[in-house]
């Protein structure tokens, strides 16, 4: 159950295949003497890592795996903490994009009422013609519905493949290989001459959403990056770089919220009250760091390509392969 509920965030895309207890279980202490013991110090470290990497095309899962292995923080407690701490980063998106979220939600509500009248009028000969006309007339409604469409492909693939991925791919070596591969893909896509036909979020159609959702399936593999996969999928679908980046933020919201709330609820039997306080500290750190990253990243993609992240991924992958060889 734990593996099947957590499907799609960069961390949550691989969360459904989260690490199982190892031979040396993690000790939970409020004021532990070791950095691999859950407490305020480790919560701050994970919060910084999560906030820095969740929305960049570099894989937060991959970085959390590497940090966890480096610090010896593994097992169920590690998985619970690493999943739950994502809530801070997601709250940063919600606060940062609060006006746009409110506008899209209110617009979608009004448009669904108009859509009912649109269908009842029977002005279009077929359902296909009716839906095509509706996507033009009710863009905010179809944007919200498109998020659900984008969610489905990776959800279905994840349900089918999570056992095999968990058994074979949740390792530093996998993170290294996928980091290099993802970096090469970014360089290739950035080298293409593309026509940016979608310049606003409301112009993202269900077809665009489906393409992005299919691209998001790659993020089921640890290290591929949910953010990177969806942004690249958006670029190939014709989205402007900034629009593709923002859409990636929006697509993360429902899945990560559901995943983190579920995992935090499950952890109530594992964490003490003091441990939850440490988790709250990590969420606050993740929130603050992610807020700064979101603003900086959106400003960056307005003027620059993603090549710098590709080079970073490739170098990181090479270093990890050498270290864990």
pLDDT of 124 > 60? The answer is yes
Between 33-42, 152-161, 176-185, 208-217, the lowest mean confidence (pLDDT) is in: 33-42
pLDDT band for position 312 (cuts 50, 70, 90): very high
Where is pLDDT greater, at 146 or 6? 146
Per-domain residue ranges for the chain? 2-323
CB 52 within 8 A of CB 292: no
Q: Which residues are CB-neighbours of 298 under 8 A, at least 6 positions away? A: 242, 245, 246
Positive or negative torsion for Cα 137, 139, 145, 149: positive
pLDDT score of 21 more than 60: no
Q: Which of 21-35, 124-138, 184-198 has the highest mean pLDDT?
A: 184-198
Does 9 score more than 70 pLDDT? no
Percent of the chain at pLDDT exceeding 90: 47
Structure confidence by residue, pLDDT tens digits, 220-245: 888 899 899 999 999 999 999 999 99
- Does 183 or 62 have the greater pLDDT score? 183
pLDDT value at position 33? 40
pLDDT, tens only, 146-161? 999 998 888 888 878 8
More confident residue, 190 or 64: 190
The pLDDT value recorded for residue 35 is 59
Q: Which residue has the higher pLDDT, 32 or 199?
A: 199
Highest mean pLDDT among 24-38, 50-64, 155-169, 271-285: 50-64
Q: How far apart are the first and last CA of the chain?
A: 33
Rounded to whole angstroms, the Cα distance separating 262 from 246 reads: 25
What is the spatial distance between Cα 300 and Cα 97, in angstroms, rounded to a whole number? 17
With contact defined as beta carbons under 8 Å apart, do 62 and 219 qualify?
no
For 23-55, the pLDDT digits (tens) are: 343 343 334 445 567 888 888 999 999 999 999
- Structure confidence at residue 104 (pLDDT): 93
Q: Judge whether 235 and 306 are in contact, CB under 8 Å.
A: no
pLDDT over 80 (residue 76): no
Residue among 89, 55, 85 at smallest CA distance from 67: 85
Mean pLDDT of the chain: 83
Phi, psi of 34 (to 5 degrees): -120, 145
Alpha-carbon gap, residue 94 to 102, rounded angstroms: 10
Exposure of 155 in the CB half-sphere (CA atoms within 13 A): 14
- Percentage of the chain beyond pLDDT 70 is 85
pLDDT of residue 183: 97
Question: Is residue 75 a contact partner of residue 23, using CB atoms and an 8 Å limit?
Answer: no
Q: CA–CA separation, 131 vs 317, rounded Å?
A: 45
């Amino acid at each position: 159950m734990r593996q099947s509920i957590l499907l799609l965030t960069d961390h949550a895309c691989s969360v459904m295949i989260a690490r199982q207890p190892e031979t040396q279980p993690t000790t939970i202490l409020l004021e532990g003497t070791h950095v691999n013991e859950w407490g305020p110090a480790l919560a701050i470290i994970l919060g910084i890592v999560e906030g820095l990497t969740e929305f960049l095309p570099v894989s937060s899962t991959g970085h959390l795996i590497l940090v966890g292995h480096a610090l010896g923080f593994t097992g169920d407690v590690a998985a619970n903490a690493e999943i739950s701490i994502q809530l801070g980063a997601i709250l940063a998106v919600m606060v940062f994009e609060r006006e746009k979220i409110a506008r899209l939600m209110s617009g979608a509500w009004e448009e669904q009422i108009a859509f009912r009248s649109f269908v009842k009028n029977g002005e279009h000969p077929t359902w296909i013609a009716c839906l095509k006309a509706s996507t033009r007339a009710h863009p905010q409604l179809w944007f919200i519905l498109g998020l659900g469409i984008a969610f489905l492909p990776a959800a279905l693939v994840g349900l089918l493949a999570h056992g095999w991925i968990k058994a074979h791919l949740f390792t530093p070596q996998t993170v290294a290989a996928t980091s290099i591969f993802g970096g090469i893909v970014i360089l290739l896509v950035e080298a293409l001459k593309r026509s940016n036909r979608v310049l606003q979020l409301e112009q993202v159609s269900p077809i665009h959403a489906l393409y992005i959702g299919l691209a998001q399936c790659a993020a089921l593999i640890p290290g591929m990056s949910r953010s990177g996969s969806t942004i690249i999928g958006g670029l190939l679908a014709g989205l402007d770089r900034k629009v593709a980046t923002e859409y990636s933020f929006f697509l993360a919201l429902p899945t990560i919220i559901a995943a983190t709330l579920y995992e935090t609820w499950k952890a109530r039997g594992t964490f003490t009250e003091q441990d939850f306080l440490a988790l709250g500290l990590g969420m606050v750190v993740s929130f603050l760091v992610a807020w700064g990253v979101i603003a900086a990243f959106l400003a960056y993609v307005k003027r620059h390509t993603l090549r710098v992240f590709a080079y970073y991924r490739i170098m990181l992958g090479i270093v990890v392969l050498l270290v864990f060889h």
